[in-house]
Amino acid sequence: MADDIKDWRIPMVAVAVDLTVLTVRAELLQILMVERGIQPFRGMLALPGGFLESRREDLDAAVARELAEETGLSAEQLHLEQLRTYGAPDRDPRGRVITVCYLALMPNLPLPRAGGDARAARFVPVEHVLGRGAAIAFDHRTIVADAVERARGKLEYTSLGAAFCPPEFTIGELRRVYEIVWGHPLDPRNFHRKITGVPGFLVPTGERTSRDGGRPAALYRRGPAALMHPPILRPANPVPQNVDRRRSRVS
């Protein structure tokens, strides 16, 4: 037993970080992807990310560095939280790699600029990434699916839906975020009643806007409440994002 302990060595395991950056663009839920410029999986779509550069680099710093190097975006622009850790033994053909994945949500992100190991960087509809016809590197399709499910779930009980909106927004714009992320149409009057009934979620600005082309609508800011009570539960059976949402409404 003593000899076993004496001969034991720390396993050679690499640690990496990956980012799932979700935003709403062109009426679709989209995710930031890069085209890999090196092997393995050269030319395939992947999440931005990479290995920790040194023993002294912490995870948050590595996320910010990789985001800047591969896409030109700043982590200060994003709502960032850890999604989960992925460590299947065969997830990377180069060896045993454990990755800590972060989830980021933000509206109106600028177009990314590829750099580092990425040959290109762009926003891609999540339905394309999750579809079987897309060539996605590593286990990143699974990670994207987990990130989308996390975002959908958090919209039910947190004020995170407003993270997809500009600083001042209408209830109609907020409802559209919920419809796009959930993949389901919502009844405007019921949504208005429920969302305005959540204490501390919305703060009226006292201003109105006609930017959606309709009657002037009240503008709101995100309030101080982080959790929503009562929660707004998503409808069952989401529909594809490209369906005509005018044909059906749910309560």
Residue 79: count other Cβ atoms within 10 Å of its Cβ.
12
Q: String of b and e for 173-182 (b: at least 16 CB within 10 Å)?
A: bbbbbbbbbb
Closest of 160, 204, 161 to residue 180, by C-alpha = 161
The predicted model scores a pTM of 0.85
What is the per-residue pLDDT across 4-36, written as a single tens digit (0 to 9) for each? Answer: 566 777 778 999 999 999 999 999 999 999 999
Task: Report residue 152: phi and psi, to 5°.
Answer: -65, -40
What is the per-residue pLDDT across 149-201, written as a single tens digit (0 to 9) for each? Answer: 999 999 999 998 998 898 999 999 999 999 999 999 999 999 999 999 999 99
* Better-predicted residue by pLDDT, 240 or 8: 8
The pLDDT confidence band at residue 247, using thresholds 50, 70 and 90, is: very low
Mean pLDDT of 201-207: 96
pLDDT at residue 169, rounded to an integer: 96
Domain annotation for the chain: domains and CATH numbers: 14-148 (3.90.79.10), 158-247 (1.10.10.10)
Give the pair of three-digit tokens for residue 48: 């931005």
CA atoms within 13 A on the CB side of 164: 30
CA atoms within 13 A on the CB side of 23: 20
> Would the pLDDT of 216 be above 80?
yes
3-class secondary structure, 175: helix
Helices and strands (H and E) in the chain: how many: 6, 9
> Would the pLDDT of 114 be above 80?
no
> Would the pLDDT of 246 be above 80?
no
3-class secondary structure, 218: strand
